[in-house]
Structure 1
Amino acid sequence: MKCSDPSYFFASLLPSRTAAVTAGLALCLCGALAACGSSAPLFLSDGRPTTQVQCTGTFASCEQQASVHCNGAFQTVNRSSDSGMLTLLYACQKK
């Protein structure tokens, strides 16, 4: 191995291939957990599951999707808009 070879540099940082694989898996796991931290709650405090839909145009199209999914009755938990993409977080009403 030559010093100019990039693999030489990385090999010198990690004592073995197993350590490199372990370090890579640890980084992936940290990234996955970081993504989970900003997600919406899966259930409301009363136990109802939440669902998130995205749409463009108006919130009426998001609400129509929620209405179909919930057979008409749903509760809006949150609405947001980012660069023209609308997001609706909702929970179906208890039957």
Structure 2
Amino acid sequence: MGAALLAGCGGSAPLFTSDGRPTTAVQCSAAGPWDNCIEHARGICQGDIDVIAQSTQDGANNLLFACKAK
């Protein structure tokens, strides 16, 4: 069970979506399912998310997302 962590500033990650919503990055252990990152992101947003990008590198799942408008 990997703990999800907020990632720091990303190199080329957009700060906002094209419609002006801020993006957030989370990083979770690649040993667990992607659902761990998705659920963590939903908790941050307190609702649904739009996935902007996802990747796996060096044993970590990286998820860039924006909260859906409520």
TM range (shorter): 0.7 to 0.9
Higher strand residue share:
2
Structure 1 segments, 4+ long, off by >6 Å, are: none
The whole-number CA distance in structure 2 between the counterparts of 1:64 and 1:39 is 24
Task: From 69, 76, 93, give the equivalent of 2:44.
Answer: 69
- 1:94 aligns to what? 69
Higher helix residue share:
1
Matched-pair identity in %: 48
Q: Which runs of 5+ in 2 are unaligned?
A: 1-8
The whole-number CA distance in structure 1 between the counterparts of 2:66 and 2:47 is 11
Q: 1:23-42 alignment to 2 at 5 Å?
A: 38-42=11-15
Q: Which runs of 5+ in 1 are unaligned?
A: 1-35
Q: Once superposed, what is the RMSD of the aligned Cα atoms?
A: 1.7
The whole-number CA distance in structure 1 between the counterparts of 2:37 and 2:43 is 10
Highest CA radius of gyration, 1 or 2? 1
